[in-house]
Homo-oligomer: A and B are copies of this chain.
């Protein structure tokens, strides 16, 4: 079966996000005054094949832990879509 994993990797809440702060002040200067907070991370879309959804989940979890996210600074969450 083919799956698509849509992964969001975001800076942990406890940490400052300078890129987000910069975009937030940029938006305010452009008259988006209702903006309260901006946080910026990565979005990764992976196509993979696996026999079951559980197997695909394990693979994506491992990929996040071993390569995609830096656990000291980032958290991840993902959604698996069968294709």
Contact = CB atoms under 8 A, between A and B. Distances in A.
Interface of A: 2, 6, 8-10, 20, 23, 26-27, 30, 32, 34-50, 59, 62-63, 66-68
Contact of A38 (B36, B45, B59): B45
Contact of A44 (B2, B38, B45, B67): B38
A36 B63 contact: no
A59 B26 CA distance: 14
Contact of A26 (B6, B32, B48, B67): B67
A29 B48 CA distance: 15
Rank and list the top 10 A-B pairs by shortest CB-CB distance, nearest first.
Answer: A43-B43, A37-B47, A36-B47, A8-B43, A39-B45, A41-B43, A34-B49, A34-B48, A35-B48, A38-B46
